[in-house]
Structure 1
Amino acid sequence: MSQAVTGTTMLRRQIGRKLESLRRAAGLTMEQAAEELDRARATLHRIENGAENVRFRAADVKEMLNLYGASGEDTELLLAMTAATRENKNWWHDYIGSGLPRWFQLYIGLEEAAANIRHYRPELVPGLLQTRAYASQVFAMPGGAVDADADEERERAIQLRIDRQALLTRFAAPQLSVILNEAVLRRPVGGGAVMPEQLHQILKAMELPNVTVRVLQFSAGLHAGAMSGAFSIIEFPEDSKGKEVEPPVAYLEAATGAIYLDKPHETAAYNTIWADMAGRALNESESKSLIQQVAEEYSRA
């Protein structure tokens, strides 16, 4: 797997998955391993979940691998993998501590590594499609992850959102599929001065071969997404044997944190919700027509 494409996030997830497997093979619970290593359980939890803020010292990794009875091959591999996390830095690390909540760091890395991204948004345009003016309105709202009163922090958060959009036009860009509730189009974020530009940006993005946007109209009635709220499903590339390098992840975001779900039954539940909405949404051509119509309504208002 190319580090140029994935940064350290996928690498850390693979390290965590491998260490968890070795721990379980050694017959140790996380509590037992933490006690033997004189570490906090929370530290091992972060390691096994691929947290970005874990620093792998070679001596600590060796101690862990010795406890787990790792083979010489596994030891050599994991020492090389953990060393790579100290040598690589994701482009978005410059934003940490100023506009980028720590719980969002993992998502950024997963997004960078994705082959397919699906977003359902009931209230707002997804960040990958937002204009600067629209993003400015979103980050100005109180109660969000970024302090709305801190101008510098807010501006850096907005710039990060704009920078992320290069993902859609890079080499080997992921496939982006979006379902928007009609409310996203009808809600006048920033009023007539912002919405026409925003809706035209969505239409422009839909011209890309890897971007699909569909609208779920009010007339579709009750749908599975009405109970779930906003969510994303992230799927990863396949290796030479046709196996995904990482299991899919369902991502749910709140004002002060996020949930990452990667168990098969969890992602299956969100795939079922997506399928229900996809079966009720307008097709892409109909969606384009509706978005264009609403944009014209804003312009005339």
Structure 2
Amino acid sequence: MVDIGPTLPRRQLGRYLRELRQAAGFTIAELARRIERGATTVQRLETGTADRIRLWDIEAICRVCGADATTTEALKGLAQQGNNKNWWHQYGDLIPLNFDVYMGLEAGAVRLTSFQELVPGLLQTPDYARTLTRLAHPSESDGEIARRVEMRIRRQVMLTKKADPVPIEVILDESALHRMIGSRRIMEAQLRHLADVSARSNITIRILPFKAGVPMGDLTGPFTILDFPRSADGEPIEPPVVYAEGYTGAMYFDDPELVERYRSAHVGLREVALGVQDSRRLLREQAREFAR
């Protein structure tokens, strides 16, 4: 039995459990009956409001819904995470390396605000994504690499769907326009893609030029602020979260003061970044350079 408070891991666990149930075609009542638990227990697990999480409940849900071994271990790992407001997720620690924890968080967001030093996944072309994925997972099979890339590309529909596409505001370090990923052809296509999608009303891309120096007086590292839906009274259903990825793991912050510091940092970076039109122009210019 795991006793955890209102933490990020618990809320993410709830998202995955809900998706599993819906994919299996069960109502909450049907699933509860199959695992011999009350409907209230299942509902609280899915909404992240359970006072206690029993690992055998997670195993039972995964078994009944047909989850694979990786997903089952990942969800058990989420259930075992500590009761920390800010959560450090070390890759391969409790949760399998090939399970994307961040994906569930991203899928529930209604707005993304980001500073990146590489093209973010939601804006990557398949070739760019495939190159990075292969470099990050050199021992994986071609089939697993293809699966990862397909998942990443499929996630992009949240930005391109006709009804209520998710707004994303990205500040991209100029180094991303010059750092070779794969080949000149891949880079040309990727930069042209960024220029094209930046014309969409919900996608804002600004380039932080080299000449801006270090505007915050220190390096922030890449980060993404995720905002979630609001209830009828205007309050967030979930608190905003900052996701900061590193080489060996990722940090998730939902402490209001830390989230606000990252928002302030993004504002500071935006003030010295190029405007939208100048950024688009620079993207096209650099794409032409790679085409030569």
| Same-fold status (TM-score > 0.5) | yes
What is the match of residue 122 of structure 2? 128
Q: Which has the higher helix share?
A: 1
Letter in 1 for 2:189: E
SS for the counterpart of 2:194 is helix
1:233 aligns with 2:262: no
Q: How far 1:44 moved relative to its partner?
A: 2.5
| Structure 1 equivalent of residue 255 of structure 2 | 263
Residue 169 (str. 1) matches residue 156 (str. 2): no
Matching residue of 1:116 = 111
Q: Deviations over 1:176-207 (max 9, x none)?
A: 11110000001121221111100111112112
2:3 is aligned with what amino acid? L
Give ranges in structure 1 of 5+ residues lacking alignment.
Answer: 1-38, 64-74
1:128 aligned counterpart, secondary structure: helix
Larger of the two Rg values belongs to structure: 1
CA deviations on 1:221-279 (whole Å, 9 max, x unpaired) are 11228522111100112111111111110001123321110010110111121111011
- Which residue type is aligned with residue 146 of structure 2? E
Amino acid at match of 2:131: Q
Query: Counterpart of 2:104 in structure 1: which amino acid?
Result: G
Read off the aligned partner of 2:275 and give its amino acid letter: N
SS of the counterpart of 2:3? helix
Q: Is the 8 A contact 2:128 2:182 kept in 1?
A: yes
Deviations 1:59-99 (A, max 9, x none): 9xx99xxxxxxxxxxx9865534378959x99x9899599x
Task: Say if 1:225 and 1:197 are closer, same or farther in 2 by CA, change over 3 A.
Answer: farther
- CA RMSD of the aligned region, Å? 3.7
Q: CA deviation at 1:168?
A: 0.7
> Aligned partners of 1:117, 1:132: CA distance in 2, in Å?
21
Q: Is the 8 A contact 2:13 2:46 kept in 1?
A: no
Deviation at 1:137, TM superposition (A): 1.4
Instruction: Check the 8 A contact 1:52/1:106 in 2, yes or no.
Output: no
Is 2:37 aligned against 1:82?
no
Tell me how far apart the structure 2 counterparts of residues 226 and 154 of structure 1 sit (CA, whole Å). Answer: 35
The answer to whether the aligner puts 1:282 opposite 2:274 as a matched pair is: yes
* In structure 1, C-alpha distance between the alignment counterparts of 2:200 and 2:70, rounded to whole Å: 28
Q: Quick one: which amino acid aligns to residue 158 of structure 2? A: L
For the residue of structure 1 that corresponds to 2:184, the secondary structure is: helix
Question: How far apart, CA to CA, are the structure 1 residues paired with 2:209 and 2:46?
Answer: 50
Aligned to 2:13: 52
Instruction: Give the partner amino acid of 1:80.
Output: Q
Per the alignment, do residues 46 and 161 of structure 1 end up closer, same or farther by CA in structure 2, a change over 3 Å counting? farther
Distance in 2, matches of 1:219 and 1:290, equals: 14
2:285 corresponds, among 270, 285, 293, to 293
Change (3 A) 1:225 1:213: farther
**Counterparts of residues 188-267 of structure 1 (less than 5 Å):** 188-224=180-216, 227-267=219-259
Q: Could you tell me how far apart the structure 1 residues matched to 2:140 and 2:276 are?
A: 39
Counterpart Cα distance in 2 of 1:160 and 1:152: 12
One-letter amino acid matched to 1:247: P
Query: Using the alignment, how far apart are the partners of 1:195 and 1:206 within structure 2?
Result: 16
The number of equivalent residue pairs is 239
C-alpha distance in 2 between matches for 1:225 and 1:217 = 15
Name the SS of the counterpart of 1:232 in structure 2: strand
User: TM-score scaled by structure 2?
Assistant: 0.70
Amino acid at match of 1:151: D
User: Do the aligned partners of 2:223 and 2:242 also contact (CA within 8 Å) in 1?
Assistant: yes
Change in CA separation of 1:95 and 1:280 when aligned onto 2, cut-off 3 Å: farther
Cα offset, 1:52, TM superposition:
2.5
**Under a length normalisation based on structure 1, what TM-score does the superposition of the two structures give?**
0.68
Matched, 1:154 2:161: no
Q: In 2, are the aligned partners of 1:136 and 1:158 still within 8 Å (CA)?
A: yes
Match of 2:79 in 1: none
Q: Give me the whole-angstrom Cα distance separating, in 2, the residues matched to 1:44 and 1:117.
A: 31
- Identical residues among aligned pairs (%): 29
Contact 1:251 1:261 in 2 (8 A): yes
**Any conservation in 2 of the 1:127–1:161 contact (CA below 8 Å)?**
yes
Letter in structure 2 aligned against 1:282: L
Whole-angstrom CA distance in 1 between matches of 2:112 and 2:251? 16
